[in-house]
Amino acid sequence: MKFLIMGPIGAGKSTFSEKIACNENLKSFHFDLLSYHDAYQKKTAEEQIELLKEIKRKDQFVCEGLHPWHISYIYDKESTIIVLNYSVLCCLCRFLKRHFFKREKSPYNFLVRMYDLRVLKWILVSKIKVSKFIKDNEKSLELIILNHRREEETFIQKLKKEYT
């Protein structure tokens, strides 16, 4: 099993991938964290591609935090692409809750400042990219598109039944 999870910022990709990884006993990769040398220096596209190819060689995994351009380097016929396609408002609320109220560590904390309105732009841009990916690939790739939390829960339950 290879699960590739993508979605806009704040969609809950990390939480969802951890649920899948725990239920299926899979290694989980958070690509946003892996694509930086440190908090301020992003890996080059070539370094990211090598990392994607390394992950792809593994038999079973969950990889989340993928951007549309990453898919061609990690996708194979055994992969399941899951797109969390939540609304911008939902993503914004989750992002704000995670970063400003819980103050947990996240790959984006080094970018976020308390009154920085660029956060909304990041969420909007990521939502647009995900929507474009769905439109461009829904006929050529098998996509599982989840639009709200109930669909996530149903998917997890189906996985549990399928593999127990």
* Among candidate residues 11, 5, 3, 4, the one with its CA nearest the CA of residue 126: 11
Residue 100 CA to residue 54 CA, distance in Å, equals 34
Residue 145 has what pLDDT?
96
Percent of the chain at pLDDT exceeding 90: 44
CATH class of 2-162: alpha beta
Provide the angle, in degrees to the nearest 10, between the axes of the packed helices 118-137 and 88-96.
140
For residue 86, give Cα distances in angstroms to 97, 138, 146, 157, 159: 16, 17, 8, 20, 21
Single pTM value for the model: 0.83
The CB density around residue 47, as the number of other CB atoms within 10 Å, is: 13
Whether 39 shows a pLDDT value over 80: the answer reads: no
Distance of CA 15 to the CA centre of its chain: 9
Tokens 């969802």 map to which residue? Answer: 16
